[in-house]
Amino acid sequence: MTKDLQIQTTINFVKEQLEGAEGGHDWFHIERVYKNSKLIAKTEDVNLFIVELGALLHDIADSKFHDGDETVGPKVASEFLKTIEVDEETIQHVINIIENISYKGGNFKATFSSPELNVVQDADRLDAIGAIGIARTFNYGGFKNRALYNPEIAPNLNMTKAEYKASNAPTINHFYEKLLLLKDKMNTETGKHIATQRHDFMIAFLDQFYAEWNGEK
């Protein structure tokens, strides 16, 4: 099987697996990360095949939708890649990307690094900020039946990984606990450039949000 066919087969597999998924973690999220990964990869010295597979499979079984089990995604990805005859070294690299890509609170330390992970991680983080990021955040907040905002509940900027995963705070708090922190965590120059623009958009949104909340505009 050629690499082009392996990629297309992976696309078909991911679409099928994520049919009916929550709107912020569906095929269209994967597609945006896939496109951004290829854009960023143009200016980085990476193995594009690994970048593409990592982007397509990074959320194949997000732990948020599997009772917090972080082993499901790597297992599903590994078993699938074997069926399309991807070599073991590439499979392990893709698994490492899946296991280390996510933001799990400020105290989480990754156990793996590679240029390919840097690219896919930046692409995934870009989809968490800006206009799309705002839409995804409120979509997920609604999915979890969270309050939009509660002035009496302050953001927690010192959560452990477990606390971050278990948090049920108002959706606005998520901007301070994650989204506004991502700009300074980007790995690549292209990622940093795009993130700055999207970060500024979120700041403008929050300014407008509070003005409307307080009856000032």
- Which structure tokens are listed for 45? 């010295």
Q: How confident is residue 137, by pLDDT bands cut at 50, 70 and 90?
A: very high
Q: What is the pLDDT of residue 63?
A: 53
Q: Same domain, yes or no, for 137 and 44?
A: no
Q: What is the pLDDT of residue 22?
A: 76
Is 122 a residue whose pLDDT tops 60?
Answer: yes
The mean pLDDT of 199-213, rounded to a whole number, is 98
The CB-side HSE value for 127 (13 A sphere, CA atoms) comes to: 27
- pLDDT tens for each residue of 174-185: 999 999 999 999
92 lies in some domain = yes
- pLDDT tens for each residue of 55-106: 999 998 665 655 556 788 899 999 999 999 999 999 999 999 999 998 654 4
- Neighbouring C-beta atoms of residue 2, cutoff 10 Å: 7
Q: What is the pLDDT of residue 132?
A: 97
The mean pLDDT of 102-122, rounded to a whole number, is 80
112 lies in some domain = no
Domain boundary among 105, 120, 155: 105
CB 73 within 8 A of CB 60: yes
Q: Same domain, yes or no, for 90 and 177?
A: no
- For residue 10, the domain's CATH number is 1.10.472.50
Residue-number span of the structural domain to which 147 is assigned: 129-216
Q: How confident is residue 111, by pLDDT bands cut at 50, 70 and 90?
A: confident
Q: What is the pLDDT of residue 163?
A: 77
Domain boundary among 40, 73, 105: 105
The CB-side HSE value for 38 (13 A sphere, CA atoms) comes to: 10
Q: Same domain, yes or no, for 93 and 23?
A: yes
- Which structure tokens are listed for 193? 């450039």
118 lies in some domain = no
25 lies in some domain = yes
67 sits in the region (left: phi over 0; alpha: psi -120 to 50; else beta) called: left
- Neighbouring C-beta atoms of residue 83, cutoff 10 Å: 9
User: At which residue do the structure tokens 């900027």 appear?
Assistant: 157
Q: Same domain, yes or no, for 92 and 146?
A: no
Q: Same domain, yes or no, for 100 and 2?
A: yes
Q: Same domain, yes or no, for 1 and 80?
A: yes
- Mean pLDDT across the chain: 91
- For residue 145, the domain's CATH number is 1.20.58.1910
DSSP string, 147-181: -S--TTS---TT--HHHHHH----HHHHHHHTGGG
Helix (DSSP H) and strand (DSSP E) numbers for the chain: 10, 0
Q: Same domain, yes or no, for 173 and 75?
A: no
Q: Same domain, yes or no, for 94 and 178?
A: no
Q: Same domain, yes or no, for 7 and 100?
A: yes
- pLDDT tens for each residue of 5-43: 999 999 999 999 999 887 788 999 999 999 999 999 999
CB burial string 119-157: b at 16+ within 10 A, e below: bbbbbbbbbbbbebbbebbbbbbeeeebeeeeeeeebee
Name the percent of the chain lying above pLDDT 90: 77
